[in-house]
Structure 1
């Protein structure tokens, strides 16, 4: 599944170039030319934000603080103007995950993105072959689930969505985001297919805490036990 990257860069030419490079590298990219448009998406949960520090209507620092106040675990890469060493210092003091200075080769940003996402997501314990959650034993490799000695049967799409939730605990995803990640790109049906799939998972696995975020989407709430 492709990672989702939100890119904020006010230079339209550079914005388009970076978006194309990121997409060619396999990422799903949503690009913004100003802070206002980016702020409308702050409650969404991409895998990475890339923020230009100097924007026409705000600063990358302000966006960074707003993002981290809601989603402290989502990594951020800052893009700084040429030779602005103070930007790097301030960015690192704020807690950004990485930093790149203009001018730079797009490939350099791709490499930083790859390494950062691998570091953030590559060794998470919930990606083990077997998960034990709320008395459910979930075997990833053979797509089986057991609860108190009883086998639970899920369709391939139900199982795929289940693993998606398990791999992203406590994060809110819109129906559109779930569709983009789990359904074929040629799917043109209603996003209610997500609701139907969640409903079936809940019916089959009632102890699993998949919460509805009304007017938006869903969140899997990780509960020990």
Structure 2
């Protein structure tokens, strides 16, 4: 009995190893990014402009079934956008916000996706449609305000701050996407698709900490075109 049980365990492990498959590739993702801004009406924080960005990195698909894969990797992404808000006029004695300020915020992140890919059977010769669901966890590695590494605030006694001090380091986003994958050879595949990345955490720490603005939130949003090659 013990020998039979041992044989079944070995057979099961061998079958699992045989069915498991790892595909590794690279992707390039031009994208449109913007910041979802929210605040009390007296401050009137608004998303003013989106930003064209470019990202990419390593893609790792670990198949645990014929049409199902755990998908991860390591991506370098660029996010941000332009916001406007009401601020006090330093030339006036009034503290009531009365003039419009604009900030162009650019942030680079190193991200790890934690997602599942679901593949259809072939919809055409060597062609499958996939759907991707999950999220990303990232950390800010570089920040610029109005294209500069430092920012001078005209409504805060011209105080100069590091741009990196304007945002928190971690970011978490939900991810949903879909695309098409085509098999070129025995182990070579190309894919293309669209993905939407919705930021879940408030990335701002400047307006709350340094300016004393209450209830201001800035969250990342990204719409990406994913183009890649798996080996």
Structure 2 length-normalised TM? 0.25
Higher relative contact order (CA 8 A, sep 6+): 2
Structure with the higher strand share, 1 or 2: 2
User: Per residue, is there more helix in 1 or in 2?
Assistant: 1
Larger CA Rg, structure 1 vs 2:
2
Q: TM-score, normalised by structure 1?
A: 0.25
